[in-house]
Amino acid sequence: MEHPFIFTRPLAARSGHPPLQSATLSQAALVLLLLLLTALACLPVM
């Protein structure tokens, strides 16, 4: 459990964002991408 925290710590220091915020932003982007892909996949069926 320590490894992701140690890995994101220097990245957060460089980018200026807290690790929690960047993690939630990447998760939100991933969810939006998955929703877009499923919507595109379901379009021809409908």
Decide if 15 is inside a domain. Answer: yes
Decide if 32 is inside a domain. Answer: yes
Give the predicted TM-score (pTM) of the model: 0.47
**With contact defined as beta carbons under 8 Å apart, do 25 and 14 qualify?**
no
pLDDT higher at 23 or 33: 33
**With contact defined as beta carbons under 8 Å apart, do 21 and 29 qualify?**
no
Number of domains in the chain: 1
Decide if 8 is inside a domain. Answer: yes
Q: How many distinct helices (H) and strands (E) make up the chain? A: 2, 0
Decide if 46 is inside a domain. Answer: no
Residue carrying the six token digits 């982007």: 29
pLDDT at 34 over 80: yes
pLDDT at 12 over 70: no
Write the CA distances from 30 to 8, 42, 45, integer angstroms.
Answer: 18, 18, 24
Its domain, for residue 12, covers 2-41
